[in-house]
């Protein structure tokens, strides 16, 4: 009985293959797609006015750009060192605001006398106070504090003027009187 089942299953399998082979060979007629009707293309009307081409040399008023007035994109944001005011720096390379004012613009707010070295408190034009001692630099004209007395501070300045002449002067800042 097993043999019959094997033969019948084999016969069924062969019949299935024949059916597949016969269906693959049949070609179905392709249904043509429905034709879409396009409206007829209208012929273009002749131009009434000629078009002006930009390639023929017509000048546009916006094309005359003066590039001297525009910013140079390759120029650095930082201004030239020659045009910027010189900032004095201490020996460590830090900018000192005490070196960027004239000595005559400073005001003395107090003097301490009697310790090992005399010292004084001065205020710059912006209102920033500094404690100074003899020998310190002050002012934009290479001033150096030479003497701190109980009522005044003496500063020695040495600089060159516009003509290149060397000028040496002593400037005395006095302590204001009590009121």
Specify the higher pLDDT residue, 130 or 61: 130
Q: Write the pLDDT tens digit of every residue in 90-142.
A: 666 666 788 888 999 999 999 998 878 899 999 999 999 999 999 999 988 88
What domains are there in the chain, each with its CATH number? 97-174 (2.30.30.830)
pLDDT of residue 73: 81
The count of C-alpha atoms lying within 13 angstroms of the C-alpha of 170, restricted to the half-sphere facing its C-beta, is 7
* Confidence (pLDDT) at 177: 84
pLDDT digits (tens, 9 = 90+) for 48-58: 766 666 665 55
Mean pLDDT of 18-26: 66
Which of the pair, 3 or 70, is modelled with greater confidence? 70
Residue 168 pLDDT class (50, 70, 90 cuts) = very high
pLDDT of residue 135: 92
User: Which H or E element spans position 16?
Assistant: helix 2-25
- Backbone dihedral region for residue 57 (phi beyond 0: left; psi -120 to 50: alpha; all else: beta): left
Confidence of residue 9 (pLDDT cuts 50, 70, 90): confident
Percent of the chain predicted with pLDDT > 90 = 28
Q: CB neighbours of 97 closer than 8 A, spacing ≥ 6?
A: 124, 126, 128
**Residue 84, pLDDT above cutoff 50:** no
Q: Is 144 exposed, middle or buried (0-12, 13-18, 19+ CB in 10 A)?
A: middle
Which residues, other chains included, contact 151 with Cβ-Cβ below 8 Å and sequence gap of 6+? 111, 174, 175
Structure-token pair, residue 42: 């209208």
pTM of the shown model? 0.48
Q: Work out the average pLDDT over 27-37.
A: 63
DSSP character at residue 76 = -
- pLDDT surpassing 50 at residue 30: yes
In angstroms, the CA 92 to CA 95 distance is 9
Q: What is the pLDDT of residue 5?
A: 47
Question: What is the average pLDDT across 63-89?
Answer: 67
As a whole number of angstroms, the longest Cα–Cα distance in the chain is: 139
- pLDDT: is 35 or 71 the higher one? 71
């Amino acid at each position: 009985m097993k043999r019959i089942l094997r033969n019948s299953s084999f016969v069924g399998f062969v019949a299935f293959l024949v059916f597949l082979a016969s269906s693959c060979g049949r070609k179905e007629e392709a249904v043509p797609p429905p034709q879409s009707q396009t409206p007829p293309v209208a012929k273009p009307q002749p131009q009434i006015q000629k078009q002006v081409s930009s390639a023929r040399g017509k000048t546009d008023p916006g094309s005359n750009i003066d590039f001297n007035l525009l910013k140079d994109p390759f120029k650095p944001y930082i201004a030239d060192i020659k045009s910027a005011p010189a900032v004095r720096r201490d020996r460590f390379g830090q900018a000192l605001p005490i070196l960027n004012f004239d000595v005559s613009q400073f005001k003395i707010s107090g003097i301490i006398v009697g310790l090992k070295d005399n010292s004084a408190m001065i205020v710059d034009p912006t209102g920033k106070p500094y404690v100074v001692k003899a020998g310190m630099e002050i002012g934009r004209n290479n001033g150096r504090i030479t003497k701190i007395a109980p009522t005044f501070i003496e500063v020695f300045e040495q600089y060159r003027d516009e003509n290149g002449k060397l000028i040496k002067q002593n400037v005395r800042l006095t302590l204001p009187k009590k009121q």
